[in-house]
Structure 1
Amino acid sequence: MIDETAEEIAEMRTHSSSAVAVKAARALEDLLDDEFPTVEEYVRTLERNSSALRRANPSHASLVTTQHEIVAAVEDADAESVAAAKERTREAIGAVVERVETGKHEAAENVAEELADGMTLLTHDYSTTVLEAIETAAEGGAYLDVYVTEGRPRYMGRRTARRLAEIDRVSATLIVDGAAGHYMSAVDEVLLGMDCIVDDHLYNRVGTYPLAAVADDGDVPVVVAGSSAKLVDEGGFRFENDYRISTEVLLEPPEGFEVENPAYDATPIRLLDRVVTDAGVRQL
């Protein structure tokens, strides 16, 4: 399962960064069923597998930091037996999963409280926190119109639109990424998820930066939502962009030109109005 999870993360088959962190943490539970001659061998194997999961997508802050946390918890425990080391691993995984999932749900609830009946939103890509916030607000009686950008080249926004279409009181409209400026005058708020915020930049799916810039030009507030685990300082994490294969953009081989396909971009937080997490609302 660990190898399969690493491959899934690398291929971005799991879209939400919170879901990636949880899936990776739970993948380490595979080691709890294996036999190891010594504690040292177990810890080395744990670190090796955790490193493989981190390398699958080093741009995911919550993935990297939670994996480090699990390994550090086991190493610091200085267990006297393999069984004790495994139990510490189980506890660390449980703590990480609970914190990430609880943080995501609480952030969504905090966002939902700010969504008023009749609002028109615009969102980008795919965020489970954003989806949960919209669904929670709709369940509370709010009618919402939501524009969803496609999120090219992987078109993750299409999945968002399909999910929104299943929610009562929500009217979803899928638009191409380049049409965001055209519809911005009809939007009350741009609502985005986040991969992470490191110091003064939001790192999120590519296309976020121009979307935030257009919203800023039109005086449309930009709200970012996610678990507080995604707020990291530069000393503890260095963002590394992921450059995807060119065939996601162009199926046939390019002739006479290059194709670049970055997965994320960096948006200055000066373009954001609020960051909403489980810890509350941070005005910018």
Structure 2
Amino acid sequence: MIDETVAEIEEMQTHSSSVVAVKAARALSELTGREYATVEEFVRDVERNSSVLRRANPSHASLYNVHRTITREVEEADPQTVEEGKAALTAAIDRVIERIDGGKKRAAAHTADYLEDGMTILTHDYSSTVNAAIERAVDGGVSLSVYVTEARPRLAGRKTARKLAAIEGVEPTLIVDSASGTYLGECDCVLMGMDCLVGETLYNRVGTYPIAATAADLDVPMYVTGSGAKLIDGGFVFENEYRPASEVLLEPAEDFAIENPMYDATPVRLLDAIITDDGAMSF
């Protein structure tokens, strides 16, 4: 389970960073089925496997937070036996999953309050929290039109468009990334998820920064939403991920290089609000 989860994270089979963090937390439950001679051996194995899962994607703040929390809580439980250690691990996993899932639901609820009937919004990439906020708003009687960027080269926006198309009351339109400036003038706001917020910088799927800059130029409000687990107060250094060139161009490149960064950095001064489970932070 752990090895499979590491491979899934490395291959980016899951687009939502919150979902990634939950899966990585659950993967550690595999250790409760292993045999250990001592509690010290068990705790070391928790730390080792937690580190392996965390390193599968160093850019995921929620992944970092989850495993830092789990290992800390197991250590602070000070188990005296292997069975006590396993119980402490199970409890820690359950707590962090509840925090993430509960945080996403509360963030979505706060975000839904920003969505009014008849609005046209633009979203980028795939965010389970954004989708939940839209669904919640629609359940409350709101109808929305949504422009969805493809989020090349992984094309996660297509998944978003299909998800939104299944929600009655939402009219999604899929657009290529470079067309966002063309349609932003028709939008009432931009709404997207986040990978993490570190200090005064939002790190999110590449393409976020130009959308934020264009929205600011056109006076279109931009809101970012996600669980508070994605806010980092220290000890974390964001590392951008550079994906294979084959995602951009299938045939070999001749006499030119290909860069395929996963994320970009957006200064919070370009945002109108970041909405988490604790409410909105305005800028």
TM beyond 0.5: yes
2:109 alignment partner in structure 1: 109
Structure 2 length-normalised TM: 0.99
Structure 1 length-normalised TM: 0.99
Q: What per-residue deviation string (whole Å, max 9, x for no partner) do you get for residues 157-189 of structure 1?
A: 000000000000100000000000000110000
Q: Percent identity over the alignment?
A: 60
The CA distance in 1 between the partners of 2:282 and 2:68, in whole Å, is: 30
Instruction: Output the amino acid matched with 1:9.
Output: I
2:196 alignment partner in structure 1: 196
The CA distance in 2 between the partners of 1:9 and 1:262, in whole Å, is: 16
1:47-126 map, 5 Å: 47-126=47-126
1:262 alignment partner in structure 2: 261
The CA distance in 2 between the partners of 1:63 and 1:245, in whole Å, is: 22
Q: 2:145 is paired with a residue of what secondary structure?
A: strand
Instruction: Output the amino acid matched with 2:15.
Output: H
Q: CA deviation at 1:229?
A: 1.1
Q: CA deviation at 1:113?
A: 1.4
Q: CA deviation at 1:73?
A: 1.1
Instruction: Output the amino acid matched with 1:119.
Output: M
Q: What per-residue deviation string (whole Å, max 9, x for no partner) do you get for residues 67-101 of structure 1?
A: 01101111222211000011000110011000010
The CA distance in 2 between the partners of 1:45 and 1:181, in whole Å, is: 49
1:247 alignment partner in structure 2: 246
1:237 alignment partner in structure 2: 236
2:173 alignment partner in structure 1: 173
Instruction: Output the amino acid matched with 2:182.
Output: H
Residue 276 (str. 1) matches residue 275 (str. 2) = yes
2:10 alignment partner in structure 1: 10
Q: 2:185 is paired with a residue of what secondary structure?
A: helix
The CA distance in 1 between the partners of 2:109 and 2:78, in whole Å, is: 39
Q: What per-residue deviation string (whole Å, max 9, x for no partner) do you get for residues 40-83 of structure 1?
A: 11111111111111111010000011101101111222211000
The CA distance in 2 between the partners of 1:236 and 1:21, in whole Å, is: 18
The CA distance in 2 between the partners of 1:224 and 1:149, in whole Å, is: 15
Aligned length: 283
The CA distance in 2 between the partners of 1:283 and 1:124, in whole Å, is: 20
Instruction: Output the amino acid matched with 1:19.
Output: V
Please list every run of at least 4 consecutive aligned residues from structure 1 whose deviation after the TM superposition is greater than 4 angstroms.
none
Instruction: Output the amino acid matched with 2:42.
Output: Y
1:208 alignment partner in structure 2: 208
Q: 2:98 is paired with a residue of what secondary structure?
A: helix
What 5-or-longer segments of structure 2 have no aligned partner?
Answer: none
The CA distance in 2 between the partners of 1:87 and 1:5, in whole Å, is: 22
The CA distance in 1 between the partners of 2:276 and 2:36, in whole Å, is: 40
2:138 alignment partner in structure 1: 138
The CA distance in 1 between the partners of 2:105 and 2:76, in whole Å, is: 30
1:1-40 map, 5 Å: 1-40=1-40
Instruction: Output the amino acid matched with 2:251.
Output: E
The CA distance in 2 between the partners of 1:82 and 1:254, in whole Å, is: 54
The CA distance in 2 between the partners of 1:45 and 1:253, in whole Å, is: 42
Q: CA deviation at 1:236?
A: 2.3
Q: 2:202 is paired with a residue of what secondary structure?
A: strand
